């Protein structure tokens, strides 16, 4: 995840029980692009003990082939192509989710990249741009170009992060493609992961935002899938996680204000499990300094330290109202902070 899945974040996640694989945030690829050093750092300084796929976003074939070749000199698990990013400034350049409008272009891209990648070549996609009319055709291209792993976020680009996730379309991909499929989208807990695996027949789960909210989600899912009850997490443990994340992501010399602002981006995702009223989110977003931020954390997480951190986000407590509120920023149900 862009601005999230950096080296420090992955190490913090690994502390609580790493996933089988990580994916980097996307490397932007265009005629002027160079391998972005801060993303590369997550690969060359990987201390998680788990392999990392390098994700690319772009549309120009020679540039993508160049980036793929360069990245293969580093210790990566494989190359992943982003066919899903829904940000307008991204899809308007016909990259990420924008490419889903043009299956002929995807055909060319997958063919050219398959040829340039000697190891694993994986794809992350949504169901389509405005609708799912090209979906099955694109799944056919995944087979045609012998893609090694397909991650499907079960929404169209237009659905952003707001709609229900269409797990039936992920099940369709599982039936259609020869490679393993990872199910992605709103998989909020170990229980939900188990249910989605049953519903879709997917080979695995890709967790995004809910790993920021609950970094124990990987170990809890392993417990669930091996027939055990997922170990609950207390508010005191969440307070410790926030402290660890704050220290791990601290860059020497960075002004406190900037680090506090970055930390709030992570805490936006943690908030939906802290309290049902969204009071933590409301207060956290207003804290101007490290001391005030941690005072808010202490107030909400250490008053009843043994209380269980909700495994599921509280309904209506929204991490990013502009992106995730069901009917846009004017939704009545969201927590306005
Ligand atoms: C802040 C943020 C950054 C993201 N960056 C990327 C990215 O760089 N590459 C990608 O494939 N998906 C990215 N995503 C999408 C997630 O990988 C995932 O598909 C989506 O959030 C749905 O899954 P979830 O409900 O588990 O979060 C990003 C999502 C968020 C919230």
- In whole angstroms, what separates CA 133 from the centre of its chain? 25
Residue whose CA is at the smallest distance from ligand 1 atom 19: 153
Residue whose CA is at the smallest distance from ligand 1 atom 23: 185
DSSP strand pairing (204-206 vs 78-83):
unpaired
The whole model's pTM is what?
Answer: 0.95
Separation between Cα atoms, residue 167 and residue 197, nearest integer Å: 10
Sign of the C-alpha dihedral computed for residues 22, 25, 28 and 34 taken in this order: negative
Ligand 1 pocket residue status of 28, Cβ below 6 Å = no
Ligand 1 pocket residue status of 234, Cβ below 6 Å = no
CA atoms within 13 A on the CB side of 216: 20
Ligand 1 pocket residue status of 132, Cβ below 6 Å = no
The answer to whether 266 touches 4, Cβ cutoff 8 Å, is yes
Closest approach atom of ligand 1 to CA 211: 26
140 SS3 class: helix
Which pLDDT does position 333 carry in this prediction? 33
Which pLDDT does position 276 carry in this prediction? 95
| Residues of the chain below pLDDT 70 | 327-337
Which pLDDT does position 322 carry in this prediction? 83
Ligand 1 pocket residue status of 124, Cβ below 6 Å = yes
**Top-level CATH class of 7-225?**
alpha beta
- All structural domains of the chain with their residue ranges: 7-225, 235-324
Q: Identify any residues that bridge with 234 across adjacent strands, giving them in sequence order.
A: 308
Q: How far away, in angstroms, is 143 Cα from ligand 1 center?
A: 24
Which pLDDT does position 331 carry in this prediction? 40
Which pLDDT does position 328 carry in this prediction? 47
């Amino acid at each position: 995840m862009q601005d999230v899945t950096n080296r420090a974040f992955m190490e913090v996640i690994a502390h609580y029980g790493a996933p089988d694989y990580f994916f980097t945030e996307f490397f932007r690829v265009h005629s002027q692009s160079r391998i972005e050093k801060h993303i590369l750092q997550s690969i060359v300084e990987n201390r998680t003990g788990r392999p990392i796929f390098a994700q690319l976003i772009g549309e120009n074939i020679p540039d993508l082939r160049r980036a793929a070749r360069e990245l293969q000199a580093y210790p990566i698990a494989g190359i992943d192509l982003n066919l899903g990013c829904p940000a307008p400034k991204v899809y308007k350049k016909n990259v990420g989710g924008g490419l889903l409008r043009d299956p002929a272009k995807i055909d060319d891209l997958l063919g050219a990249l398959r040829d340039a990648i000697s190891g694993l070549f994986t794809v992350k996609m949504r169901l389509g741009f405005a609708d799912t009319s090209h979906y099955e055709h694109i799944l056919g291209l995944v087979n045609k170009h012998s893609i090694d792993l397909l991650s499907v976020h079960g929404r169209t680009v237009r659905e952003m992060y707001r709609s229900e996730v269409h797990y039936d379309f992920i099940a369709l991909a599982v039936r259609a493609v020869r490679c393993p499929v990872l199910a992605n989208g709103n998989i909020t807990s170990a229980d939900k992961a188990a249910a989605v695996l049953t519903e879709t027949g997917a080979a695995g789960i890709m967790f995004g935002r809910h790993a920021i909210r609950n970094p124990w989600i990987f170990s809890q899912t392993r417990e669930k899938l091996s027939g055990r009850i997922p170990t609950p997490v207390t508010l005191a443990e969440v307070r410790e996680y926030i402290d660890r994340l704050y220290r791990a992501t601290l860059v020497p010399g960075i002004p406190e204000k900037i680090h506090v602002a970055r930390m709030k981006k992570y805490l936006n995702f943690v908030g939906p499990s802290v309290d049902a009223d969204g009071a933590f989110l409301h207060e956290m977003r207003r804290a101007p300094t490290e001391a005030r931020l941690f005072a808010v954390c202490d107030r909400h997480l250490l008053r009843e330290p043994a209380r269980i951190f909700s495994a599921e986000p509280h309904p209506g407590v929204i991490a990013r109202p502009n992106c995730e509120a069901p009917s846009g920023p004017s939704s009545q149900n969201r927590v306005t902070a």
